[in-house]
Structure 1
Amino acid sequence: MRKRGLLVGISLACVTLAACSESDNYGESAELTEADATTEAAPEAMFEEGEEIAEQASTAPDTAALETRPDIPITLPRMAYTYDYGFQLDAAEIAPLQERHADMCEAAGPYVCQIVSQSHSGNVEDGYASGRLELAVVADQAREFGGRLGAAATTVGGEQVTAGITGEDLTGNMVDTEARLRSRIALRDRMMEVLRTRQGSVEEIVEAERQVARINEEIDQARAWLEEMRGRVAFTRVNIDYSTASAPASSFLDPVTSALASIGGILGYLLAAFIVLASIAVPVGGAIWGVKRLLKRFDPPVEAEA
């Protein structure tokens, strides 16, 4: 009995040791598996990190070049534009459409659109009329305003037959004028400093005053030119022409009617010419007659022949 109990205890101990060894082996294998996974993931992470570093290295020179590049002043073109539109429509619709376009301009306000000139000619009864409207529209809204003009003409049966855009580059003139203005102002300031300090002789002070007056005139003139060019750039000129499709055909009696109507004018010109000639001929003729009378009075008498 004692031998059987001893054998059972030894068996249980062996089973326990085997179980412990298996658990240790499982733990070690799990640790190895995690370590292998970490080892396998490490090269991938290092590869990705290397690609990022390479990309940063490739883009770094360009970025650095852009950051270190000196700022170059860029002068945008200063253009003065002119828009030309032409509409054909019935003679009776020209004046209303012209007034409608003018009302559109006034409704936009003086800071957006201003009427420069407006004219209308022709007789509706003859079937022929024409007109012209000149506007000044703020530059950034000129094209949109031109589209609205065409839409308004379409509503009354008008047709847009011409459209054009021309521009004048005022950049050079404006830059030169600004530079000249700055130099004149600097010179004027130096002359004023001489006058304030009263350094120099009387002749030099008088000459400085003359120079200041002349420079002030140049400054005022340059400022006026500059403001005029700035206004042309800020506001675009929009020219609108209105006309009928064609001029009316002349009839057979039109030349006769025109000749009869001009008879009065012709007679008036003839009478005016006669008056002018008479005003010249009478004094001249009187002077000639008087000279002849005097010559006859002082001439010696002619002796009669024996």
Structure 2
Amino acid sequence: MRVVVFLAASLILGACSQPAERSAEVASQEAAPMAPAALADSAAAGAPADARGGAAPQAPLPVGIPMLAYSYDYAISAPPKAIRALVTRHETACANAGAAVCQVVGSSVSEAGEDRVSGALTLRATPVWLKRFRESLSAEAKTHGGRLVRAAVESEDLSRRIVDSEAALRARTTLRDRLQGLLASRPGKLSDLLEVERELARVQGEIDATQSELTMMRGRVATSEMRLTYESGGVLAPEGAWSPVGRALGDVADILAGTLAAMIRTVALLAPWVLVIGGLLWVFRRRLPRWGRKTKDAPKVD
């Protein structure tokens, strides 16, 4: 009896272990195409899909911190005399940090009058330095009698573009190496060699373009761009009950100035004609009495 129970238990355990082994084999066969070696062999094949980076999206993206490119947009409103000082102060702070930490992309200050001054400053800096710089902007604006009126941030996720570009670069590099080996080890007709050289030059150009794009995207991730706008408008005393009177007086001054300007233009337009017409009248007035005397002195004819 014990022997029969033992044999039955052995059969049951064997039947349970076979599906598990089969499922493990199926799982390993399904996971095999995604292995790095298979991807490398696929890239080395030099197929057109690989040259375009088509095989790269099939592989899962690496799990990690997203590669984000940040862009900041800040605006400061300050008195006209403080605009140039603020722009110079911020530009000097970036220059003192060093080119490896901060770079001035653009800087400008324009004046449309004593009370209308504006400025713009564009920086590209590392996130650590830029964080400290942004935290001090509000205090610096208040020190110069101004205030921070706008603070905006935008981000662009470059993770997929960078991963796809790296995969395409690897595939094109493999294809270039194969073409170079083919050109060196398989001599043939001159037309065939020229065709291989043209293809090699095309692939090398794509490699250079992809490397440049990767360098640019990695630079955008490693550093952040910040645009600063400085405006003198809006830094006025708060409006009170007599603000409409002040605006009315300003309008009266504008009206008087406009009227005076119109009068000056009218005088400038009519003055030449007044001189010409006055001169003609003066000439006629001097000649008319002579004509009258000649008529009276003429002898009468009977």
TM-score normalised according to structure 2 size: 0.57
Map of 1:74 onto structure 2: 63
Map of 2:218 onto structure 1: 230
**Aligned residue runs from structure 1 range 85-164, under 5 A:** 85-123=74-112, 125=114, 127-164=115-152
CA distance in 2, matches of 1:184, 1:257: 75
Please tell me whether Structure 1 or Structure 2 has the larger radius of gyration of its CA atoms: 1
Given the alignment of the two structures, is residue 219 of structure 1 paired with residue 219 of structure 2, yes or no? no
Aligned sequence identity (%): 36
1:125-163: per-residue Cα shift (whole Å, max 9, x none)? Answer: 2x1211111100112332222112333222212201110
Give secondary structure in 1 for the equivalent of 2:108. strand
Map of 1:21 onto structure 2: none
Q: What is the identity, as a one-letter code, of the residue corresponding to 1:188? A: R
Deviation at residue 259 of structure 1 after TM alignment: 8.3
**Aligned residue runs from structure 1 range 132-281, under 5 A:** 132-246=120-234, 251-252=254-255
* CA root-mean-square deviation: 3.1
Gaps of at least 5 residues in structure 1 are: 1-71, 263-306
Deviation at residue 256 of structure 1 after TM alignment: 6.6
Deviation at residue 255 of structure 1 after TM alignment: 5.4
CA distance in 2, matches of 1:156, 1:168: 34
Q: What is the identity, as a one-letter code, of the residue corresponding to 2:153? A: I
CA distance in 1, matches of 2:151, 2:185: 62
CA distance in 1, matches of 2:116, 2:153: 27
- Structure 2 vs 1, CA of residues 257 and 76 (structure 1 numbering), >3 Å: closer, same or farther? farther
CA distance in 2, matches of 1:191, 1:257: 82
Gaps of at least 5 residues in structure 2 are: 1-60, 237-249, 266-302
Map of 1:58 onto structure 2: none
CA contact (8 A) 1:133 1:239 kept: yes
- Structure 2 vs 1, CA of residues 245 and 185 (structure 1 numbering), >3 Å: closer, same or farther? same
Map of 1:44 onto structure 2: none
CA distance in 2, matches of 1:212, 1:260: 78
Deviation at residue 199 of structure 1 after TM alignment: 4.3
CA contact (8 A) 2:91 2:104 kept: yes
CA distance in 1, matches of 2:150, 2:120: 14
CA distance in 2, matches of 1:261, 1:114: 52
Query: Number of aligned pairs?
Result: 193
CA contact (8 A) 1:117 1:134 kept: yes
CA contact (8 A) 1:128 1:247 kept: no
Deviation at residue 177 of structure 1 after TM alignment: 1.1
1:17-41: per-residue Cα shift (whole Å, max 9, x none)? Answer: xxxxxxxxxxxxxxxxxxxxxxxxx
CA distance in 2, matches of 1:245, 1:201: 75
Map of 1:84 onto structure 2: 73
